[in-house]
Amino acid sequence: MKPYPSLKSIIAELLPLHRTIVSDDMDKTLAIIGGYLPDQANYALQTYSPGTKIWTWVVPERYIVHAAYLETESGQKVVDFADNPLHIISYSLPIDKILTWDELEPHLRYNEKFPDAIPWEFKYYERDWGFCLPKNQFDKLDRTARYHAVIDVEFARDPELGLKIGHGVLHPAGGAANGAGEIIVQAHSCHPMQANDDLAGVVSTIELARRLAEKPLPEGSMSVRFWFGPETIGTIAYLAHNEDLIPNLQAGIFMEMTGNKNKLAWHHSRQHDHLLDRITQYVLRDKDVDERDFAAAPANDERVINGPGVNVPCISLNRFPYEEYHTTEDNLNIMDEAMLQGAADVAEEIIRIFASNYIPKRTFRGPVFLSGHGLWVDWRENWNLNRAIEKIMMRFEGEHSIFDIAEQTGLDYWETYEYVEKFRAKGFVERLPIPSEAHTS
């Protein structure tokens, strides 16, 4: 694992790359991400051949840009991909043609709110072509002139040049726990020249992985799977090629747009009141955050993870909306290290509770001889726990998780967890896994 002075420094390294969904720079991005992840995650890449059917979708071709520019008929450059990859609409079709203003104008894009910024636009599946430029530059273009539009690109279908994703898994102390399952944490990496959308989510996720490697989850906890790749299509391709993973997934967190100075927002799972939602509410109970419905804007890969045929409860963490969205104003200047770290703080706390949680099932009959087994809690030292002991033991019937018990007794989760673990260490309860809600077909 490469050290990093700050999360912003990783963003600065990745920002200039032309990170469109299937491209050479996306491959470079995924390789760089892997260098920052803990070695214990065993990070690896998977490649999916262009044209492969993945559920109702198809893996797209690799987009290779050799040259793309707009110039006047006399050869004066207007915009050039070599200066900024946002100057062309991603996945633009090839063209080499002299055009009148009326022919060209429908293919130009700009942003009214930021007249000096270049917008980012894409046509991944609705194939067309176009250029993006600042509004102030657009306004100055000669409407009587003719323009030379050149987009020299290829759509490569070589299987070795297919869509790539990066993934790795961190196990709890003692290794993967049989039957415990996994949580998947995702961040997409496919938006060129965008810092907050979503290199911010990428680096917050890298930081989360580093923390879980330095301080592993308790023995017996769920494992945590980390995923990086192109938005939507990457998750579909990944799950379509790894359907055996789905029944093992217990929950998901999608991390994006975590670096700007907005308060954090969290989006419910599709189930809305799932254990994952309740734990998230518990973690954020004293924080000033926005709470939103599932797949409310911005809606991303949680629609796949928590969607039809998969149904893994998935929340989203972000700091959307922000004015600079999808323009060159989404840059390092709006990134804040404390915001990036703060999102990792929240995700870490959610995961540490959700992953360690289990259903305790009693092996004893009758009241437990507490003082005889070192389980008595002196009321003078901890009144609340002393008063809750009977309530806790009455919930050892294999129906309530530790979080349920903490919630129902009004105790802190970790205090409850540590006390239940004492019963398990004595052999008085056994650990039952949280049932998965993932669909098997």
pLDDT of 254-311, one tens digit each? 999 999 999 999 999 999 999 999 999 999 999 999 999 999 999 999 999 999 999 9
Q: What is the DSSP letter of 61?
A: P
Average pLDDT score over residue span 428-440: 94
* Beta-carbon-side half-sphere exposure of residue 417 (alpha carbons within 13 Å): 15
Q: Which tokens is 10 given?
A: 């990783």
Q: Where are the alpha helices (DSSP H) in 224-358?
A: 233-241, 275-283, 302-305, 337-356
pTM: 0.96
63-156 folds as Glucose Oxidase; domain 1 (3.50.30)
- Residue 61 CB: number of other CB atoms within 10 A? 19
* Beta-carbon-side half-sphere exposure of residue 257 (alpha carbons within 13 Å): 22
Cα(40)–Cα(176) distance, integer angstroms = 12
- Residue 242 CB: number of other CB atoms within 10 A? 12
Residue 440 confidence class, pLDDT cut points 50, 70, 90: confident
Q: Which tokens is 117 given?
A: 């910024």
- Of 89, 153, 148, 77, nearest in space to 120 by CA: 89
Angle in degrees, CA 310, 196, 186, rounded to 5: 25
- Of 265, 205, 218, nearest in space to 34 by CA: 205
Cα(32)–Cα(96) distance, integer angstroms = 35
Residue 127 confidence class, pLDDT cut points 50, 70, 90: confident
Cα(123)–Cα(130) distance, integer angstroms = 9
pLDDT of residue 441: 80
* Res. 125: pLDDT tops 90: no
7-60+160-356 folds as Aminopeptidase (3.40.630)
